Amino acid sequence: MEIKKINIKINTKKKFQIIDITSEINNICEIEKGIVNIFTKHSTSAITVNENEPGLLNDFEMLLENMILENKGYLHDIVDNNATSHLKSLLLSSNQTIPIYNSRLDLGTWQKIFFIELDGPRNSRTIDLTFIGQ
């Protein structure tokens, strides 16, 4: 069994942004079969799996905005003025584990891996990829 850790960097351009990182992960996959854990090292971002359809991605942003409203007197805003970004990340996940077969992510037909920026724009967001397999 082999364990390999690689990180990728992402620059974001907007406060909320969904970035498809599926191809980038497939391009650096160096194991034939196993799993990869995809982990964001930031508490105001997330990793998720879903369909890359523009209407759905807009709906996802609208859902989060309607669930966690701005300017509600959150105590963390006194520190960094980004409480809504942290609260949204609580509803999501910082990581996903995906099977790998034939050196490719073994996703469903419409599934993609997304990095979700909740507090951008930011430079050099770090995503750790831990490949375990052979």
Helix (H) or strand (E) segment spanning residue 56:
helix 54-67
Question: Does 36 score more than 90 pLDDT?
Answer: yes
pLDDT for residue 103: 97
pLDDT for residue 104: 98
* Residue the block writes with tokens 């990869």: 36
56: confidence class by pLDDT, cuts 50, 70, 90: very high
Helix (H) or strand (E) segment spanning residue 89:
helix 83-91
The pLDDT mean for the chain works out to: 97
pLDDT for residue 70: 92
Per-residue pLDDT, averaged over 105-110, amounts to 98
Write out the two tokens for 82: 């980004």
Which residues are paired to 17 by β-bridges? 117
DSSP type of residue 13: -
What architecture is domain 2-133? Sandwich (2.60)
40: confidence class by pLDDT, cuts 50, 70, 90: very high
Write out the two tokens for 32: 């034939």
Nearest to 16 by CA among 49, 64, 48: 64
Q: What is the pLDDT of residues 82-94, one digit of tens each?
A: 999 999 999 999 9
| Extents of the domains making up the chain | 2-133
pLDDT for residue 19: 98
pLDDT for residue 30: 87
